[in-house]
Amino acid sequence: MATFKIEGGHQLSGEITPQGAKNESLQILSAVLLTPDKVTISNIPDIRDVNKLIDLLENLGVKIQKNNPGSYTFQADDINLKYLMSPQFKEEGRGLRGSIMIVGPLLARFGKGYIPKPGGDKIGRRRLDTHFEGFISLGAKFRYNEEDHFYGVEAESLKGAYILLDEASVTGTANILMASVLAKGKTTIYNAACEPYLQQLCKMLNRMGAKITGIGSNKLHIEGVEALSGTTHTMLPDMIEIGSWIGMAAMTKSELTIKDVSWDDLGQIPNVFRKLGITVERKGNDIYIPEHKDGYEIQNYIDGSILTIADAPWPGFTPDLLSIVLVVATQARGSVLIHQKMFESRLFFVDKLIDMGAKIILCDPHRATVIGHDFEYSLRATTMTSPDIRAGVSLLIAALSAKGTSTIHNIEQIDRGYEHIDERLRAIGAKIIRVD
Give CA–CA dist 347/337, Å, rounded: 12
Give CA–CA dist 318/239, Å, rounded: 9
Bridge partners of 333? 297
Letter for the amino acid at 207? Answer: R
Do residues 156 and 111 make contact, with C-beta atoms less than 8 angstroms apart?
yes
Give CA–CA dist 136/188, Å, rounded: 14
What b/e string do you get for 338-370 counting C-beta neighbours within 10 Å, with b at 16 or more?
A: bbbebbeebbbbbebbeebbbebeeeeebbbbb
User: How many CB atoms neighbour CB 58 within 10 A?
Assistant: 12
Do residues 39 and 75 make contact, with C-beta atoms less than 8 angstroms apart?
yes
Cα-Cα end-to-end distance for the chain: 7
Do residues 370 and 336 make contact, with C-beta atoms less than 8 angstroms apart?
yes
What region, left, alpha or beta, does residue 321 occupy, with left being phi > 0 and alpha being psi -120 to 50 degrees?
alpha
Give CA–CA dist 399/397, Å, rounded: 5
148 carries an active-site annotation: no
Bridge partners of 286? 283
Catalytic residue, from 121, 320, 388, 422: name it. 121
Give the DSSP H or E segment for 426: helix 421-426
Give CA–CA dist 254/252, Å, rounded: 5
Give CA–CA dist 82/16, Å, rounded: 44
Instruction: State the pairing for strand pair 335-339/367-371.
Output: antiparallel
Return the active site residues.
Answer: 121
